[in-house]
Amino acid sequence: MEYKNHMKLEFDSKSQNEAFARVVVAAFAAQLDPTLEEIADIKTAVSEAVTNAIIHGYENKLGVVTVICNINNKELEIVVQDNGRGIEDIQQAMEPLYTSKPELERSGMGFTVMETFMDRIDVYSELGKGTSIRMVKNFKSLNAE
């Protein structure tokens, strides 16, 4: 039996919402009967993506961050979008330890963590328009009903 579900979340680009976003996505994923490790993986990945939108997309100015989740059987797709400044060089941004803001004590490991904890990640970005990070995770649980 095919199972699908969808949700969309919008919030201000405030760092207080990093915890809010990862908890909401984890709660939505609960219907996939995930293991504790799977929940921790998606919470960490969402935290990284939302932090990127706030620090790099909007550079701490006020904007809207959108998180969209789609469940397709045992697969969870998470899309984190901003309408901020965009990424000039995506390949460089994704390199481990690269950070465009060393003065902020950022480790440059955000994308590496997302890649490690999720099964797939795609980044779309346009300068002046924004960035969209799409991440996919396949859950091992058997029933999503």
Partner 1 sequence: MRFNYEVIDNNLILQLDGELDHHVAEKIRLDMDELISKKRSKNLVFDLKGLHFMDSSGIGVIMGRYKSISKMGGKVAVIHVSEKVDKIFTLSGLYRIVEKCENLEEALNRM
Q: How far apart are CA 57 and CA 83, in angstroms?
A: 7
* Interface with partner 1 (CB under 8 A), residue from 32, 42, 48, 76: 48
Residue (26 or 64) nearer to partner 1, CB: 26
Which residues are CB-contacts of 39 (< 8 A; sequence separation ≥ 6)?
A: 26, 29, 30
Q: Decide if residue 96 touches partner 1 (CB under 8 A).
A: yes
Q: How far apart are CA 83 and CA 61, in angstroms?
A: 11
Q: How far apart are CA 5 and CA 137, in angstroms?
A: 15
Q: Decide if residue 40 touches partner 1 (CB under 8 A).
A: yes
Q: Decide if residue 107 touches partner 1 (CB under 8 A).
A: yes
CB 110 within 8 A of CB 133: no
Catalytic residue chosen out of the listed positions 75, 106, 115, 138: 106
| 12 beta partners | 64
Q: Say which DSSP state 96 is in.
A: T
* Interface with partner 1 (CB under 8 A), residue from 28, 29, 43, 84: 43
Q: Decide if residue 44 touches partner 1 (CB under 8 A).
A: yes
Q: Is 17 a catalytic residue?
A: no
Residue (107 or 143) nearer to partner 1, CB: 107
Q: Say which DSSP state 42 is in.
A: H
User: Which residues of this protein are in contact with partner 1, per CB under 8 A?
Assistant: 15-16, 18-19, 22, 37, 40, 43-44, 47-48, 51, 54-55, 96-97, 104-107, 109-110, 112-113, 116
**Catalytic positions:** 48, 52, 106
